[in-house]
Every structure is written in structure tokens, then in C-alpha cells.
Structure 1
Amino acid sequence: MDHQQQTNPDTTNELLTLLSDEYRRATIAYFRDSSESVSSLEDIADELCEEDQSEADRIAVQLHHSILPRLADSGVVNYDTKTNTAQYRGHSELEAMLDGIQHASQ
């Protein structure tokens, strides 16, 4: 993402809390690695699921009710519940922490 916007939360603890959930980490990684800054809930769920369609459906419910609203509350994404689309706003500190977590888990 070319333009990185610094957003709240700006504390290390809040950033780590955002990254404590595997699906929030995967959602951030999905947007960071994508050429698109806006994506549908369905596309995100399909990308995050590792198994069959029932897994994607379960993830879509979590995305809608928990993951995307939490990321939106923190200013990382804009989430439109009417169209079920999310726009990634970028967060360089969060992405750097995510990179560290991913590197450590390899």
C-alpha cells in the first residue's frame, strides 16, 4: 500500500491486542499483500479459509460480527456493513509488528 496513514490506537499494547487474533492477523496480511484496498467480506473469507465452503461461511460470520468491526473501531479499515465491503487504511506500525510475528512463527 503506497499511502500509510497513522491511526489510533498508537500504543503497543493495543496494537498487540489487535494482532492477538489469528483472523485479524490474516485479514491485515490479506490487505497488506493485496493490490486492492477495497474488498468484499466474501472475498476476504474465501482467502482466509483453508478448507471447504462451510469454513468460509463461518469465517464470514466472524468477519462481519467481530473481526472487521474491531479493525474498524481501531481505524485500520473502513467497514461498510450495508455493502459488506472493507477498505484498508494501512498502518505501518501494525504491519511491522505483523511481519515480526510471522517471521518468528516460521
Structure 2
Amino acid sequence: MEKSDDRKRSPISLDDLLNIAADPLRRRILTYLATQSENECSVTELAEHLHSQGDGTDRPKRRLLLRLHHVHLPKLMDFELVTYDTGTNDVQYHGDSRLEEILDQIAPMGDSSSGESTE
């Protein structure tokens, strides 16, 4: 992950960064957004990508869309890591170099969870 823009915002505490990175689905969301042109895509495209990766279950994509809309994107918005325009259905990643460093350290460890967060 290499695309942080570290906007002028309040610094995110280490505890908050670790909490964000602790969720496997949020890690996948952030990694995907960071690889997109201008760090942006539609929520539908994001959900399709995440769903295509599978999580070891047969959960419907609709459930994933609901979790993105009601849980994960709002949490990432709270820390100004993404903007989510519900009118256009677009999500844009704004990055944070410290979070990206954490994600880069976690990535080689793999992901033994199902991808379903408890939040």
C-alpha cells in the first residue's frame, strides 16, 4: 500500500489505527481502495470485489452492501480515511501513512478469519 495523502486532519490515535486494522473486512476495503485509480470506486464495485474474494460462507452480497453502508464506511468516515457520497454511491480513500504501514506489516501474516467482522 503506497498511496496516503495524510490530509490536514486530527491525528488518529494508535489505538484507533489498530482498531481499524483489526477488522479483516476493513483491511480488505482499504487495500482495495488504495489500488484503485484516484483511490476511488463505487460501493457496488467494492462489494462485488469483496464478495468475489469470498469469505468462506454463502452470505449474500446484499448483506455485505448493508454492512459496508451501515458499519464499515461510517467508521472509516469518522476518522476521515474515506469519503462516501451516498448520492453517487462513490467511496474515495484518503489514506494515512501510519495505517498503511500497519496494514503492510499485517498483510504477510495472511487472514485466517472468515472476513466477517463482529462490529
TM-score of the alignment, normalized to the shorter chain, above 0.5: yes
Equivalent residues in 2 for 1:12-91, closer than 5 Å: 12-49=14-51, 50-51=53-54, 55-91=60-96
Residue pair 2:4, 2:100 contacting (<8 A) in 1 also: no
Residues 23 and 3 (structure 1 numbering): CA distance in 2 closer, same or farther, change over 3 Å?
A: closer
Per-residue CA deviation, residues 24-60 of structure 1 (Å, 9 max, x unaligned), is 1111000122234221110000111134996322211
Amino acid at match of 2:24: E
Gaps in structure 2 of 5+ consecutive residues: 112-119
The alignment partner of 1:83 has SS state of coil
Residues 97 and 60 (structure 1 numbering): CA distance in 2 closer, same or farther, change over 3 Å?
A: same
Which one has more relative contact order, counting CA pairs under 8 Å at least 6 apart?
Answer: 2
TM-score normalised by length of structure 1: 0.84
1:62 CA displacement: 0.6
Aligned-CA RMSD value: 2.3
Which is worse superposed, 95-104 or 31-40?
Answer: 31-40
Percent identity reads 33
Gaps in structure 1 of 5+ consecutive residues: none
Q: What residue number does 1:4 align with?
A: 5
Residues 38 and 46 (structure 1 numbering): CA distance in 2 closer, same or farther, change over 3 Å?
A: same
The number of equivalent residue pairs is 106
Residues 3 and 70 (structure 1 numbering): CA distance in 2 closer, same or farther, change over 3 Å?
A: closer
